Amino acid sequence: MSFTYTELQDAIKNFTENEETSFVNSLPVFIRSAEDRILTVADLELFRKNATSQLTINDPYLNVPNDYLSSFSLQITTANYKNFLELKDVNFLQEYYNTLSGTAVPKYYGVFDVDNFILSPTPNIAYDVELHYYYKPTSITAGAGTGTSWLSTNAPNALLYGSLVEAYTYMKGEADMLQLYEQRFIQEIQRLKDLAEARENSDAYRRGLPDRPRT
């Protein structure tokens, strides 16, 4: 089974028995939220990529890629070493920054806002950096009604139940139904993780690499 964009919208309306105008207009928001949640919790290597950039001396900020979803790693590279930065909450970074004087090699980073990371300490050199991150693929909501996406084809139930969780939360629906859809969503996420792990281990076997442990 798979969904086109129109079929997914129709399924949400049928499950919720709601075709009220403001609800229907909010369907793309529910679906995009479900997509983001799936990609965040499922840990799919398929949607990881690298981006390189350079820090600016005396500037603690670094641009976030437009398709950024969440971090896998951020490292500083010099001619002599590579140093992985530790992801921290912005409040921690601001408190840590207040204990420092001057600039130094950054040790920590955090998501400051939708456009910027913040680093601490503030860079003392224009270091090269490499960000390994999970990205947002094009949403099914960006295409035509007959369009599909990787998630609507390979994880249709996860996308449906995730959207229903968002829809029932919006509707302030019955708690038992919301709990049911959340449980179904979690089950589908586990199936997706198991499928991804099997594919990755199969690829690793063909390349002669050890299996990748997962949590």
User: Is residue 145 domain-shared with residue 40, that is, in the same domain?
Assistant: yes
Lowest mean pLDDT among 94-98, 136-140, 172-176: 94-98
CA torsion angle 71 76 82 84 (round to 10): -40
User: Is residue 119 domain-shared with residue 98, that is, in the same domain?
Assistant: yes
Distance between CA atoms of 204 and 215, rounded to whole angstroms? Answer: 18
Give 209's pLDDT tier (boundaries 50, 70, 90).
very low
Mean pLDDT of 124-149: 94
Last residue of a domain, one of 95, 115, 135: 135
Whether 37 has a pLDDT exceeding 70, the answer reads yes
Q: Are 193 and 43 in contact (CB under 8 A)?
A: yes
Residue with tokens 């980073």: 109
Mean pLDDT of 110-134: 93
The residue segments making up the domain with residue 169 are 5-44+139-200
Give 212's pLDDT tier (boundaries 50, 70, 90).
very low
pLDDT > 70 fraction of the chain, expressed in percent and rounded: 89
Q: What is the pLDDT of residues 156-196, one digit of tens each?
A: 999 999 999 999 999 999 999 999 999 999 999 999 988 77
User: Is residue 56 domain-shared with residue 131, that is, in the same domain?
Assistant: yes
Q: Are 72 and 85 in contact (CB under 8 A)?
A: no
Q: What is the pLDDT of residue 132?
A: 95
Average pLDDT of the residues of the chain: 89
Last residue of a domain, one of 135, 161, 188: 135
Give strand ranges (E) for the chain: 48-54, 61-63, 68-77, 82-84, 86-87, 108-111, 116-120, 128-135
144 lies in a domain? yes
pLDDT > 90 fraction of the chain, expressed in percent and rounded: 73
Q: What tokens appear for 163 in the block? A: 């959207």
